[in-house]
Amino acid sequence: MKIFYLPDLGEGLAEAEIRQWYVKVGDEVKVDQPLVSMETAKAVVDVPSPYAGKIVELHGEVNEVIKTGAPLVSFDTGEAIADKGSVVGKLETSEKKWDEGEVIIGSAATKPSNIKAMPAARVLAKQMNVDLNAITPTGPQGLITPNDVKQFAARHASPSVVLPGETEALHGIRRTMAQAMSQSHQDIVPVTVVEDADITDLPPGSDITIRLLRAMVAAAKVEPALNAWFDGKKLERKLFDEVNIGMAVDAPEGLLVPVLKDVAMHSDEALRQQIDTYKKSARDRSIPPADMQGATILLSNFGTITGRYATPILLPPLVAILGCGRSREVVIPREGQIVIGRILPLSLTVDHRAVTGGEATRFLGAVIQHLRK
């Protein structure tokens, strides 16, 4: 018997949650056949079989969290030789684009089952009790997307009643988000500073998000202490030259934070294209894990929905997050005259263990100054 241990599904992730088993005990499987859909903090990934043989045991139920390196599946391969490796079943990586014979999710490449659907679509279909065979795919190479599942379910929905007092266990992104918020509350000493930026003189149609990104890069040069990581246990901080901005993106399953790498090196057009790509891929859970790592500072542009000020939550080891509220028209005195102007409310949260009040206010002041240009 051989045991397949859960491999690292995304650069150091400690665990993953079982979303859907594609096999059962007694099934005969082939090498690279999808075994299970696993959800990490960063993606939903189909895990392929490293062996050909009969399934002897599945080490976990749906919604159960499995630690990286823990037993996942036991096989009868017909071989009497013991396993020599401690962790088997390495996921093969691929840089290929979509191909008719292969599905690529993040860094995991697997061969599809008879129904061609994104892993996230399979999970959603099971949760909503939707038959994938009945869905017309709209994705690349005939793949069923999560949005296909949602639209099908909406067209065929029947009235349902949600009873008061019902509870729902958190899974996937929401579970990870709850854990991260608890860690933030426990580990960080936050302080929030708020101020308004006068953006009356910005040209009509200006991309406020891009202006904020540029302002954060400029402010990091003025006050580099906020573009940093802090290790609270060792009381050590690390400053960065590159400004990698993690942007909070609202998704149906929860909050995702893809990272815009080395913002200063990219044009406004390239940044806008990358942001739009992240928004789209957040909806179908196809953001590669590597694109959600390496942030040195955070931006939460919650004002695109509603709200003026907030107390944005920091995620260690980062030491600063800038929140941007909804802009609004206000009465502004200018050179003895009353004019109607536009202001942008900003909320900056820092980890006060690593950032002083002076450093925080100088950074925020530099952001505001840059937005006025």
Q: Over the stretch 45-98, which tens digit does the pLDDT of each residue have?
A: 889 899 999 999 999 998 888 988 899 999 998 875 444 333 334 433 333 333
Range from 88-102, 122-136, 279-293, 298-312 carrying the lowest mean pLDDT: 88-102
Q: Which of these, 351, 298, 293, 357, lies nearest to 322 by C-alpha position? A: 298
Q: What is the mean pLDDT of residues 324-348?
A: 94
pLDDT attached to residue 91 = 38
The token duo for 206 is 């200006």
CATH 1.20.810.10 fits 118-162, yes or no: no
Which residues lie below 8 Å from residue 213, measured CB to CB, with a gap of 6+? 245, 260, 263, 271, 299
pLDDT attached to residue 99 = 36
Report the distance separating Cα 254 and Cα 20, nearest Å.
Answer: 19
pLDDT attached to residue 253 = 74
pLDDT attached to residue 327 = 94
Q: Give buried/exposed letters for 249-265 (b at 16+ CB in 10 A, else e).
A: beeebbbbbbbbbbbee
The token duo for 27 is 């099934």
pLDDT in tens, 229-263: 999 999 999 999 999 999 998 887 778 899 999 99
Which residues lie below 8 Å from residue 21, measured CB to CB, with a gap of 6+? 35, 36, 58, 62
What are the domain boundaries of the chain?
2-113, 118-162, 174-371
Range from 8-17, 79-88, 289-298 carrying the lowest mean pLDDT: 79-88
Indicate the angle between helix axes 268-283 and 208-222, nearest 10 degrees: 110
* pTM assigned to the model: 0.66
pLDDT in tens, 346-355: 999 999 999 9
pLDDT in tens, 168-227: 777 777 887 888 888 899 999 999 999 999 999 999 889 999 999 999 999 999 999 999
Which residues lie below 8 Å from residue 324, measured CB to CB, with a gap of 6+? 208, 212, 299, 300, 301, 302, 303, 344, 345, 346, 347
Residue-averaged pLDDT of the chain:
83
Classified by CATH at the fold level, domain 2-113 comes out as OB fold (Dihydrolipoamide Acetyltransferase, E2P) (2.40.50)
Domain 174-371: give its CATH architecture.
Answer: 2-Layer Sandwich (3.30)
Higher pLDDT residue, 151 or 332? 332
pLDDT attached to residue 152 = 78
Q: Per-residue pLDDT for 358 more than 50?
A: yes
pLDDT attached to residue 27 = 93
Report the distance separating Cα 143 and Cα 237, nearest Å.
Answer: 45
pLDDT attached to residue 216 = 98
Angle (nearest 5°) at CA 23 between 18 and 29:
130
Report the distance separating Cα 342 and Cα 264, nearest Å.
Answer: 27
How many percent of the chain have pLDDT more than 70? 85
pLDDT attached to residue 214 = 98
Q: How far is CA 32 from CA 85, 131, 132, 288, in A?
A: 19, 24, 22, 21
Q: How confident is the model at residue 269 (pLDDT cuts 50, 70, 90)?
A: very high
